[in-house]
Amino acid sequence: MSIKVGIPKSLFYYQMYPLWNTFFEELGAEVVTSQSTTKKVLDNGVRICVDEACVPVKLFHGHVLEIKDKVDFLFIPRLTSISKGEYVCPKFGGLPDMIKNTIKGLPEIIDVEINCRKDENNELDSIIKIGSFIVDDEKLIRRAYRAALDKFNDYNEDIKKGFMPEDEKNRKSNLFVVKDSGIINIAVIGHPYNLYDSYINMNLFKKLRTHGVNIITQEMISDDIVSHHAAKLNKRVFWNFGRKALGSVMHMIEERSDIKGIIYLMSFGCGIDAFIGDLAERTVRRNTDIPFIYVTIDEHSGEAGLDTRLEAFIDMIRWRENNEVDISAYG
């Protein structure tokens, strides 16, 4: 019987699942993910997690509860940095400790640190440590990682072409659905675990598509373009997500006249969102008249309020397109 490795369907899942799934499978392990988010998963996470945490971290706890009894190992890497000179949110670094100190009866946790802040080659050392939980064969681990990287690169290429990770579709081999075919382009900026988890974002993408919207996310923009624009900021952004979000917004307002509105999807209680969201909004408002709104999510968010705001936002964009394109959306 193969070793079962559990990957909670939350946080890094939406960015990195194809990488880790391929890696562990190439090592002969079976990957088990939790089910897509439901009210029960969220409620369980909220019940057990500290109140101060943001909703994605609470949700992660709920997903761990879902699978902890079905696997031999839980994969919760200590993600300090995934790119040179940048950090991931500190909550990612402390995630294995939060889980260990909150949830009882856990299987062994693969909690190796990944820290590429000083040197991106550090990643390989971490990979070898991670693989050693499953096999004692460094050659095989390196080979599995190469195969995983190929898969991951294909995944990222598909996203750049406009495909999108989506929960329910074909999640074993790849995560994609077809491209949108709407008539208005709206950018949605936010953490991948908020953008692509349709329960936590109250079906935001489905609602937008129903209104004929093509959705553009920061993952669809090439990293070179993002970095080029982010480098123009007065001060370097040292969060990986912050650089991507701000670089994407700057690219959209400077070079993408086809983008008619920007939605910033924000987690309540997220320090990075509070800072980056504000900078994004100022950048948009100072330099263009593209309509911009925040959508904030937490465990209490109500769907009716979201529906009304989205409808009004899209109506306003349509009206501007059809009538007075030179009037600011802000009055």
Binding mask 171-210 for ligand SF4 (x = CB under 6 A): --------------------x-------------------
| 150 token code pair | 């190929």
Verify binding: residue 49, ligand SF4, rule CB under 6 A. no
DSSP 27: T
Which residue, 189 or 317, is less far from ligand SF4 as judged by CB?
189
DSSP 293: E
Which residue, 191 or 243, is less far from ligand SF4 as judged by CB?
191
CA distance 265 to 214: 16
Nearest CA among 306, 313, 308, 310 for reference residue 330? 313
Verify binding: residue 272, ligand SF4, rule CB under 6 A. yes
Distances (CA, A) of 4 to 32, 34, 64, 95, 231: 7, 13, 14, 21, 43
Verify binding: residue 273, ligand SF4, rule CB under 6 A. yes
| 102 token code pair | 């909150």
Number of residues near ligand SF4 (by CB under 6 A): 10
CB of 15 to ligand SF4, least distance (A): 12
Piece of 50-58, 171-179, 201-209, 230-238 that binds ligand SF4 (CB under 6 A): 50-58
Which residue, 263 or 270, is less far from ligand SF4 as judged by CB?
270
Nearest CA among 155, 139, 153, 144 for reference residue 29? 144
Which residue, 72 or 113, is less far from ligand SF4 as judged by CB?
113
Q: Which of 57, 114, 263, 306 binds ligand SF4 (CB under 6 A)?
A: 57
CA distance 316 to 199: 26
> Within a 10 A sphere around the Cβ of 119, how many other Cβ atoms?
10
**Footprint on residues 59-118 left by ligand SF4 (CB under 6 A):** 89, 91
Which residue, 58 or 260, is less far from ligand SF4 as judged by CB?
58
Nearest CA among 242, 201, 249, 190 for reference residue 221? 249
CB of 248 to ligand SF4, least distance (A): 16
Q: Which of 115, 240, 248, 267 binds ligand SF4 (CB under 6 A)?
A: 267
Length of the chain: 331
List contacts with ligand SF4 (CB under 6 A): 54, 56-57, 89, 91, 191, 267, 270, 272-273
